[in-house]
Amino acid sequence: MIKKLLSLKNIRRLYAAFFLALFVILVGITSFRSMKGYQVSLFLELDPLVALSSFLTSWTVYKGLALSLIIIVGTMVFGRFFCSWICPMGIINQIAGSIFNKLRAVDLIKMNAYRTIYRFKYYGLALFLVLAAFGTIQTGLLDPIPFITRAFAVSVYPAVNYWSGGFYLKQPVFQGGFLLAAIFITVLFANRFINRFWCRSLCPLGALLGLLSFRPIMQIWRDTAKCNDCMKCVQNCHGACDPHASLRTSECMVCMNCISDCPENAMHYGLPKNASSVHTPLDVNRRRLIETAVFGTVMFPMMRSVITSKTAAQHSVIRPPGSIAEGDFLRRCIKCGECMKVCPTNVIQPALLEAGFEGIWTPILLNKIGYCEYNCVLCSRVCPTGAITPLTVEKKIGKPPAQKPLKIGIAFYDRGRCLPWSMHTECIVCEEVCPTSPKAIWFQDVEMQLRDGTTKVFKRPYMDPELCIGCGICENKCPVRDKPAVRVTSIGETRSLTNQMSLKS
Ligand code: SF4
Ligand code: SF4
Ligand code: SF4
């Protein structure tokens, strides 16, 4: 009984439950803004594909990403254990598969047999790496750790909050959140047809780990002398890696189910022995691989042939404080959504096409939804790749005039919509909320004639571009709700040498 409880399969399940809980807690902690000391980006930093792709785009490895060496070396020794023991995306897909697929043994064997479409992930990986080598990081679109972090940040947690009302003071909203939720649900639903469809066919991290576990030191092996070809080892195989025949080590997720399911005690994990089965090499069509690389090479200049925030500054692409210059930002941001999740005002939103196709789901600030809190630097603390560099509050707000504050843009008045400027209505909201000291907004008292012929003194607001940091609270609080009378654009941002006003007062 105890031996059965302590089977490798059950130990794996315990680890999987622990890592899934850890992932949920770490992403959740960012909701409570109490992440001091916690490694909230741990899973992203462990991800070898994040490290490899950001290395290819920037030729540097951001400090936290050195942790991914643990997974790289571990995979070369123990096989693709990450997929069934640690990866929250793999574990959630496995749970979804177990719920959907209550099948007869014969159908389970059919479902868990190897299929040639499982090669597709290697071609996807090749495409992403070619694009990264050219300088555009798109792995975050399908890399499971950024994928699931983003899905939790912009759809799962807001949905849970909607029903429970417990996490946030205010219900968070995200542009395109429904699309991200729909993609996530579709991926989970795919398990209804093929167990772990995502992991077996699409996952570029699975492909990278598959390459690394091509010849692992420790591996699953079958004692051919004991095996009676009952195929029970295939029934619950996570990797669809043919454990009953010549095992495909690159597909094997070391789930240990075959060992527990074999009635003849013919399946083992460890150093292969003389009596063990032979292993099948990686199933990749070299011609298709070359075609994919050529496709990436052709696609890259096409992606660059459109105007993006990298080629010409876009007023709507306001990045979080501490962001590096736009070109480097797009080379580093993996679209994980950690910064969106942690922002207390919900101002950080996933971009749609504002920053071009390359910038899809990267963070931009939408002041209609929130504003950048003056004393907050949280987003700079969670970014795993250095797209947003760590800030201190002192560095962010500066000490004018000696030490300049960090600017993310400048606010402009739309005088045709501003109440004191055009509607003969008193309003000082923007000046009251402006957090800088001295305030960036100042007034000029102007006596104006009203419609009935009487006169009245109004305070007309003006902007001091030297003092404005672009926090956007004035835009967010402006009583002209649909299109505020004061709006922030990215010009003047500290991170750019060129996105500046060429004439100054
Ligand atoms: S620094 Fe500003 S943008 Fe970043 S998390 Fe804080 S409030 Fe949000
Ligand atoms: S900028 Fe935001 S979305 Fe991009 S890598 Fe950093 S935390 Fe993730
Ligand atoms: S954006 Fe508005 S509130 Fe913020 S510093 Fe500039 S003027 Fe003040």
For residue 256 the two structure tokens come to 């240990």
Decide if pLDDT at 275 tops 70.
Answer: no
Q: Which atom of ligand 2 is nearest to the CA of 329?
A: 1
User: pLDDT tier at 62 (50, 70, 90 boundaries)?
Assistant: confident
Cα(502) to ligand 3 centroid in Å equals: 21
Decide if pLDDT at 92 tops 80.
Answer: yes
What local confidence, expressed as pLDDT, does residue 3 receive?
64
> What would the pLDDT profile of 171-223 be if each residue is shown by its tens digit?
899 999 999 999 999 999 999 999 999 999 999 999 999 999 988 999 999 98
Decide if pLDDT at 144 tops 60.
Answer: yes
Residue nearest to atom 5 of ligand 3 (CA): 468
Could you tell me which residue, 62 or 152, shows the higher pLDDT?
Answer: 152
**CA–CA distance from 203 to each of 145, 187, 232 (Å)?**
10, 11, 26
What local confidence, expressed as pLDDT, does residue 32 receive?
59
How far apart, in whole angstroms, are the C-alpha atoms of residue 334 and residue 53?
9
How many helices (H) does the chain have, and how many strands (E)? Answer: 24, 10
Is the CB of 378 inside a 6 Å radius of any atom of ligand 1?
yes
Task: Answer for the pair 88, 203: CB distance below 8 angstroms, yes or no.
Answer: no
**Running DSSP on this structure, what letter comes out for residue 321?**
T
> What would the pLDDT profile of 428-467 be if each residue is shown by its tens digit?
999 999 999 999 999 999 999 999 999 999 999 999 999 9
Decide if pLDDT at 263 tops 80.
Answer: yes
Cα(175) to ligand 2 centroid in Å equals: 16
Cα(471) to ligand 1 centroid in Å equals: 9
Q: Which atom of ligand 2 is nearest to the CA of 385?
A: 5
Going through 152-231 in order, the beta strands assigned E by DSSP cover 219-222
Decide if pLDDT at 477 tops 70.
Answer: yes
User: pLDDT tier at 78 (50, 70, 90 boundaries)?
Assistant: very high
Beta bridge partners of 487: 412
Residue nearest to atom 7 of ligand 2 (CA): 383
How far apart, in whole angstroms, are the C-alpha atoms of residue 327 and residue 494?
14
> What would the pLDDT profile of 337-390 be if each residue is shown by its tens digit?
999 999 999 999 999 999 988 899 999 999 999 999 999 999 999 898 999 999
Cα(340) to ligand 2 centroid in Å equals: 8
Is the CB of 342 inside a 6 Å radius of any atom of ligand 2?
no
The three-state secondary structure class of 219 is strand
Decide if pLDDT at 163 tops 90.
Answer: no
Is the CB of 410 inside a 6 Å radius of any atom of ligand 2?
no
Cα(191) to ligand 1 centroid in Å equals: 37
Is the CB of 488 inside a 6 Å radius of any atom of ligand 1?
no
What mean pLDDT is predicted for residues 109-128? Answer: 94
Residues in the chain, how many? 505
Q: Which atom of ligand 1 is nearest to the CA of 391?
A: 1
Is the CB of 330 inside a 6 Å radius of any atom of ligand 1?
no
SS in 3 state form for 417-483?
Answer: CCHHHHCCCCCCHHHHHCCCCCCCEEEEEEEEECCCCCEEEEEEEEECCCCCCCCCHHHHHCCCCCC
The percentage of residues in the chain with a pLDDT greater than 70, rounded to a whole number, is: 94
Q: Which atom of ligand 3 is nearest to the CA of 469?
A: 5
Decide if pLDDT at 98 tops 70.
Answer: yes
Is the CB of 484 inside a 6 Å radius of any atom of ligand 3?
no
**CA–CA distance from 51 to each of 46, 122, 138, 141 (Å)?**
8, 18, 13, 15
* ipTM for this model: 0.85
